[in-house]
């Protein structure tokens, strides 16, 4: 099993109030693709993860595989599994390359 975990050197914060707002906007049919809900502070720069990215980030706590993360997210989003799995795989691959995520 290959569990995904966040790079422990990265300082981050889940902006819960912002996430609540983004969820309301999503329910109202607005485009929330560019709206950050998790902030990462890396080398003096701030990066934001959007709703899906933030949820994946939160789930990467060293106890789940990529497949298990998809299982968790399927409970939150009304979407085909293969579509969601592709999005999750692309996001995780990107963050693995940046070394923001690592395999535990």
Q: Residue 11: count other Cβ atoms within 10 Å of its Cβ.
A: 10
Residue of 29, 40, 34, 30 whose CA lies nearest to 52: 34
**CB of 12 or CB of 100, closer to other proteins:** 12
Distance between CA atoms of residues 58 and 53, nearest Å: 9
When asked if residue 62 is in the footprint of other proteins (CB under 8 A), the reply is no
CB of 90 to other proteins, least distance (A): 24
When asked if residue 47 is in the footprint of other proteins (CB under 8 A), the reply is no
SS3 21: helix
**CB of 14 or CB of 26, closer to other proteins:** 14
When asked if residue 31 is in the footprint of other proteins (CB under 8 A), the reply is no
Judged by the rule CB under 8 A, the positions of this chain that interact with other proteins are 11-18, 21, 36, 39, 41, 45-46, 48
């Amino acid at each position: 099993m290959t569990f995904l975990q966040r790079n422990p050197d990265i300082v981050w914060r889940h902006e819960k109030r912002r996430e609540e707002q983004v969820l309301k906007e999503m329910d109202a049919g607005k485009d929330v693709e560019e709206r950050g809900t998790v902030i990462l502070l890396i080398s003096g720069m701030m990066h934001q993860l959007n709703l899906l990215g933030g949820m994946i980030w939160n789930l990467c706590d060293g106890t789940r595989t990529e497949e298990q993360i998809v299982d968790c997210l399927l409970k939150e989003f009304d979407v085909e599994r293969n579509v969601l799995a592709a999005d999750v795989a692309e996001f995780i691959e990107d963050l693995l390359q940046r070394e923001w995520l690592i395999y535990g």
